[in-house]
Amino acid sequence: MSRSIYLINPAEQTPGYHSLEVLADWRIANVVNLADLSTPTIAALVPRDWSVTICDERVQRVDFNTVAEVVGLTGKVSQRDRIIELAAEFRRRGKLVVIGGPYATLNPDDLRPHADILVRGEIEEIADRLFGDIATGRFEREYEGTRPDLSTSPVPRWDLYPRRAALAGQVQTSRGCPFECEFCDVIQYLGRKQRWKDPDQVVRELDVLYGLGFRDVFFADDNFTVMRRRTHALLERVAEWNRTRPAGKVRFSTQASIDLARDEDLLKACSDAGLTATFVGIETPNQQSLAETLKRQNLRVNLADEVTKIVQAGIMVMSGIVIGFDHDDTSIFEQQAAFIATLPVPAIVFSVLTAPASTPLYARMQKEGRLVSHARVGAGQFLKSNFRPKLMSATELETGSAWLLNQVYAPDAYARRLRAFVDASPVTPGVTGPPRFAPLEMAIAARLAQHGAGELRLVRLIEELFAKRADLRDRLSYLLAFYCQARFMIAHHGIWNPGQAAVAVVGRASA
């Protein structure tokens, strides 16, 4: 009879934009931006008479000597190798290993050999059967989840999570997205019919996070604002909740599509509720590429204008930018660099287009015989796709992308976008506070300033803006850490080459 489980969120294989490995590397802090949501959610579905322990390997060591009989592993494609390593080690130690989560769902064939039990899909409606079977020892090798009504999703067990490890908590208010971008695996995993928690349920989750001291919360939705009526109802409730917090308001961030910019009422409702930042998949200024990838919501609008409208409503934008569509030739690198320079968006999350497993793009690449050898896991590597690009070589795609990253993250280019963001952001009156960096920001700024004259200028600019714009301090602080992490990630992959900023675009060499 198994009555104890050890739930692990495995470490990512390499640093990403949103993690904060740089702070550990600089011996400043051992934290992540976002607390893991999956392990506390699963923990809440485990029967109450079981003993449950959570490990977020991004900030904690895995306890291989755990007394738990069952080990649960979850994760995305970026955690794939570590899931397999941990599964092998715990099985060697006689543990029953259960693997689930997005990657297990999208690519079950890859993980099946490594699990005693594989769980595909969402777990809420099958949790009782799964844990009941494990407890009796008569379990199946594989369980298939459902697309549950989210009103059945419990409040995550944040009490089991290492609170101090994360700067922000998470609440998922909806799952799914009605759009159909060709490369998107979210809609394969969670569907196009969006499902919602009701506003009171969301507030119950917020109460728990607030009680634990979180003052930053990420709404972990795939597309928070796309269903207008439900978002208005939720924001109204959240605004009311936030207005009455006894120990200060919470700042929210989320993910939304660009159509948010068209709706002034919704922008205002977001801002009134306390939404201060959102990720938006801008992808590309290349209209043919947007049409090719079925990103219709980004077509026939001036993307820079639309982004600016969101910023002017008081919501910082972090942009996803992608290169490697079938309509991208080597001119795309300069085109993207010029486009990005017009955005009031310092935080650019750049990636090379890859075809995740189970997506229409993967099926198309397979049909066209363009998948490359490591495509089995449905992922590329840093700046390398898992399929052959159409109008340039794989080498041109990689070297051009490296060039673009060096342009985008040259300190002066980042500083220009940062100033544009601040200039476009409305002033929120009545916000006060010390006009100087707190000790954490001071430590980060001091390390960054050592990197060179450009970095020192960037630090001075942030310091100056910090003193002038008390209402933007949280975002300036985020952008300072984000820049350091982006640079750390680029350097980790060995492509930081500041001298390249002045060199002609690599793509031209192939024309």
- Is position 181 an interface residue for ligand SF4 (rule: CB under 6 A)? yes
Least Å distance between CB 270 and ligand SF4? 17
Minimum distance, C-beta of residue 293 to ligand SF4, in the bound complex (Å): 9
Stretch that binds ligand SF4, among 16-24, 78-86, 172-180, 497-505 (CB under 6 A): 172-180
The answer to the question of residue 224 lying near ligand SF4 (CB under 6 A) is no
Measure the CA–CA gap between 113 and 348, rounded to whole angstroms.
37
Of 413, 403, 462, whose CA–CA distance to 438 is shortest? 462
Q: Is 115 in the site for ligand SF4 (CB under 6 A)?
A: no
- Considering the rule CB under 6 A, would residue 282 count as an interface residue with ligand SF4? no
- Sheet of 316-323: strand order equals 32-34, 166-171, 216-219, 251-256, 275-283, 316-323, 348-352
What is the SS3 assignment for 48-107? CCCEEEEEECCCCCCCCCCCCCEEEECCCHHHHHHHHHHHHHHHHCCCEEEECCHHHHHC
Among 187, 266, 322, 402, binds ligand SF4 (CB under 6 A): 187
Among 186, 273, 277, 307, binds ligand SF4 (CB under 6 A): 186
C-alpha torsion 292→360→379→41, nearest 10? 120
* Residue 177 CB, nearest approach to ligand SF4 (Å): 3
What is the nearest approach in angstroms of ligand SF4 to the Cβ of residue 226? 8
- Pick the piece of the chain touching ligand SF4 (CB under 6 A) from 11-19, 157-165, 177-185, 270-278: 177-185
Binding of residue 281 to ligand SF4 (CB under 6 A): yes
Q: Considering only residues 99, 130, 184, 307, which one is a binding residue for ligand SF4 as defined by CB under 6 A?
A: 184
DSSP state letters, 317-373: EEEEEEE--TT--TTHHHHHHHHHHTSS-S-EEEEE----TTSHHHHHHHHTT-B-G
Taking the complex as a whole, the smallest distance from the CB of residue 407 to ligand SF4 amounts, in Å, to 25
Using DSSP's 3-state secondary structure scheme, residue 409 falls into: coil
Going by C-beta distance under 8 Å and a sequence separation of 6 or more, which residues neighbour residue 76?
101, 102, 103
Q: Report, in Å, the least distance between residue 282 CB and ligand SF4.
A: 11
Q: State the residue for tokens 């971008």.
A: 181
What number of chain residues touch ligand SF4 (CB under 6 A)?
A: 11
Quick one: which of 20, 31, 177, 365 contacts ligand SF4 (CB under 6 A)?
177
Q: Using CA atoms, how far apart are residues 511 and 506, in angstroms rounded to an integer?
A: 10
**284 lies in the site for ligand SF4, by CB under 6 A:** no
In angstroms, the CA 190 to CA 188 distance is 6
Binding ligand SF4 (rule: CB under 6 A), the pick from 12, 56, 110, 222 is 222
Q: Does 223 bind ligand SF4 (CB under 6 A)?
A: yes
Q: Counting contacts by CB under 6 A, is residue 375 touching ligand SF4?
A: no
Q: What is the binding site for ligand SF4 (CB under 6 A)?
A: 177, 179-181, 184, 186-187, 222-223, 257, 281
